[in-house]
Structure 1
């Protein structure tokens, strides 16, 4: 507990052991969220992180929603939606790497809390993907695009990314995007729902976006 701290894989900066199982329960002050950042990250890589992995849960145990399961050498900032995080580091019986070093801090709901990605590499035909986004009460969701490249059409009738002002497609639609022109989309409340849909022909490189919790205007 506490509003900041550091945790590492066992033996860091040396290699972690085989058959390890370590957990960390993190709690910060009420009204804050937990942001976990990595200064070093190197785990055995594998499909679906099936060998060695670091899992981060959005609550105080493994029964909470899992925010990420990390392996290999690619780690990003992970933020919770509330004041608790639960971290599980697990290794198998062969191959070890140098492990990880992470810091956690207590932050307000205004930090970037997740990425929406269908990028890099062309997206598939006949795709249907959804993301439900919720931020802290009293904030709105702002979605910004670093990349957008979808099949273009006047009414975005082929491939499209739709953003709704609520928690499902029954909420008002704020935008339907295609082509290569994207703008910042902001909701009026704490929820957003995103739908990515593609048809049966022509694919492009897709999109990468981040969302932040911001104060309303």
Structure 2
């Protein structure tokens, strides 16, 4: 319910543990939108997308997806959520680990 905050992988900036599953929801008041910044994200390179971070409207895999990755990106990206609220999930498998992420967000008034 806060206007600002961040989500981060467990143990950040250390490596996150195997078999982790974290979920967050960002549900701002009416007429506010969510702005997300991903400064960098470190996930192991695996053929089958072993560890991933996804942001969408609800937990349903059919809902509007704003962001999804299972790769390392060292360049920052900023974007506004495609939905009024966000359901966010980070999941890691039993295999390789990495540093993960710390992702700040803010909400702002829609004029």
Shared topology, TM-score over 0.5?
A: yes
SS of residue in 1 equivalent to 2:2: coil
Report the Cα distance in structure 2 between the residues aligned to 1:83 and 1:2, rounded to whole angstroms.
Answer: 14
Tell me, yes or no, if structure 1 residue 70 matches structure 2 residue 69. yes
The answer for the alignment partner of 2:94 in structure 1 is: 93
Q: CA deviation at 1:99?
A: 0.7
Q: How far 1:85 moved relative to its partner? A: 0.6
Task: Name the residue aligned to 1:115.
Answer: none
Aligned to 1:50: 49
Q: What are structure 2's unaligned runs of at least 5 residues?
A: none
Where relative contact order (Cα < 8 A, 6+ residues apart) is larger, the structure is 2
* Matched-pair contact (CA < 8 Å) for 1:27–1:85: yes
Are the structure 2 counterparts of residues 39 and 96 from structure 1 closer, same or farther at C-alpha, using a change threshold of 3 Å?
same
Point out the structure with max Rg over C-alpha: 1
Secondary structure (helix, strand or coil) at the match of 2:30 reads: coil
Residue in 2 that maps onto 1:4: 4
Alignment partners' CA distance in 2, 1:78 and 1:90: 22
Mapped partners of 1:71, 1:82: distance in 2: 21
Structure 2 matches for 1:92-171, cutoff 5 A?
A: 92-108=93-109
Distance 1:99 1:30 in 2: 31
Shift of 1:45: 2.7
Q: Give the aligned CA root-mean-square deviation in angstroms.
A: 2.0
